[in-house]
Amino acid sequence: MSIRQLAICCMMLLGISACHSAPRLVYNGDTLQWNKDWVKRQCGTLDIAATIKEVSGIACSRVTPGYIWMQSDDYESYIVASDDKGDKRYAKVSFTKSIRWDWEDMSGGIYDGKHYLFIGAFGDNNETDGNYSIVYFEEPAIDPANPNISVTPSQIKYVYPDGKKHNAEALMYDNIDQTIYVITKVYYDVCQVFSLPMSLDYGDEQQTLTYVCDLGVKSDLGSGSKPYKGFHLVTAADISPDGKYILIKNHNNIVATYSWILLFTREEGESVAETLIRQTHPEPLYCYNYEWQGEAVCWLDSTTFYTTSDADDGNPPIYRYTRKNTSAVPTVQTDAMPIGKQLVMIGNVMYIRSKDRLFTLDGRLVR
């Protein structure tokens, strides 16, 4: 019997069935309210033999829409692209030089008018390594007729501001402030968020992340020997392309019913850090059901996102989540910006910058 099957049997014996029969999430001292504005459907099943195994990070392609980039933490020194059916590999990206292994998450974003993919090479389960980095490179176009691609990656080496070693499994990139965020994974205790502005000029110099905030508080973990209701073990995160919505995902590999996806909503003029600090009551998504080793999430746009899992005993499902009322979401599609242009926030107003000119979002020249 696999670990997964054993866990399911234990759940049945304990009378635990659906995810939402479990106690609701206690976070920052209060019980959070479900967000029921989303629906979920299985859009595919990842064929790990045909694509890649143990997927720990995904990112929707912005250069070639319709594909999903996938990265593994199983000693695979490449990434692949599939679609949301997950049954075929359409591209394989190999790297021209060796980079740190233990890749745990992936994100995409725009910097200096170009599309990049970011990989978090920062897994450290035993907190003994200390050699952490963000690997990045320009996102290549996907051509199924020529699937083999070679790129030369760069990496940003970093340390944590407390001088300690940490295990992390969640990475996200903000198109608006052009900032990278790293979230630590901690067992039965508070996870922490750190940030670093994106730059192409860091070189080999080791950077120090900036502490942002805690996710929840230690007292939320409950009492006695089963502190499962706290939000710990963060495994994935992503920011919507327009920068307005943030997803942070966790899993619990002991009691399956204590797993959530939290939705944070950013207010105009806020940084991601300010949103995470201000929004002490994020919304757990009601439609999310537990995924064994659920370690991957990515936004397609502000109305749609995907999840899949790091399967240890089979081919995992790929799920697509969609807002019930998409017309209510004002979306700025930063991923659709032409190359050479980028969004900037001046005061509380967002503009398009192209070289030395500034435009409103509807294309009027400001200066």
Q: How many CB atoms lie within 10 A of CB 131?
A: 14
Angle at 326 between CA 320 and CA 327, to 5 degrees: 165
Q: 218 in helix, strand or coil?
A: helix
Cα–Cα distance for residue pair 343/366, rounded to 1 Å: 14
**Please, where are the H alpha helices in the chain?**
3-13, 272-278
What sign for the dihedral angle of Cα 14, 15, 20, 23?
A: negative
Cα–Cα distance for residue pair 66/58, rounded to 1 Å: 13
229: closest CA among 276, 275, 192, 284?
A: 284
pLDDT tier, 117 (very low <50, low <70, confident <90, very high otherwise) = very high
Cα–Cα distance for residue pair 327/269, rounded to 1 Å: 22
pLDDT tier, 99 (very low <50, low <70, confident <90, very high otherwise) = confident
High-pLDDT (> 70) share of the chain, %: 76
Cα–Cα distance for residue pair 180/8, rounded to 1 Å: 36
pLDDT score of 308 more than 60: yes
The string of DSSP codes covering 329-352 is -----GGGSPTTEEEEEETTEEEE
Please give the mean pLDDT across all residues of the chain. Answer: 83
What's the whole-number mean pLDDT along residues 332-361?
59
Q: How many CB atoms lie within 10 A of CB 307?
A: 24
Q: pTM for the full model?
A: 0.84
C-alpha dist (Å) from residue 222 to 186, 235, 284, 310, 354 = 16, 21, 18, 28, 52
pLDDT score of 305 more than 50: yes
Contact 234, 246 (CB under 8 A): no
What's the whole-number mean pLDDT along residues 300-326?
90
119 phi, psi to nearest 5 deg:
-120, 130
**What are the domain boundaries of the chain?**
3-329, 337-367
Per-residue pLDDT at 249: 94
Q: 61 in helix, strand or coil?
A: coil
Span of 53-62, 166-175, 204-213, 358-367 with lowest mean pLDDT: 358-367
Contact 122, 104 (CB under 8 A): yes
DSSP letter, residue 326:
G
Q: How many CB atoms lie within 10 A of CB 117?
A: 26
Cα–Cα distance for residue pair 70/80, rounded to 1 Å: 5
Span of 22-31, 218-227, 253-262 with lowest mean pLDDT: 218-227
Contact 78, 70 (CB under 8 A): no
180-218 pLDDT, tens digit per residue, is 999 999 887 789 999 999 999 999 999 999 999 998 765
Angle at 319 between CA 263 and CA 323, to 5 degrees: 45
19 phi, psi to nearest 5 deg:
-55, -40
The string of DSSP codes covering 122-170 is ---TTS----EEEEEEEPPPP-TTS-EEEE--EEEEEE-TTS----EEE
Per-residue pLDDT at 114: 92
SS3 content of the chain, % helix, strand, coil (to 5): 10, 40, 50
20 phi, psi to nearest 5 deg:
-85, 5
Residue 358 pairs in a beta bridge with 353
Q: 47 in helix, strand or coil?
A: coil
Residue 279: alpha-carbon gap to chain centroid: 18
Contact 104, 57 (CB under 8 A): yes
Q: How many CB atoms lie within 10 A of CB 25?
A: 23
Spell out the CATH class of 3-329.
mainly beta
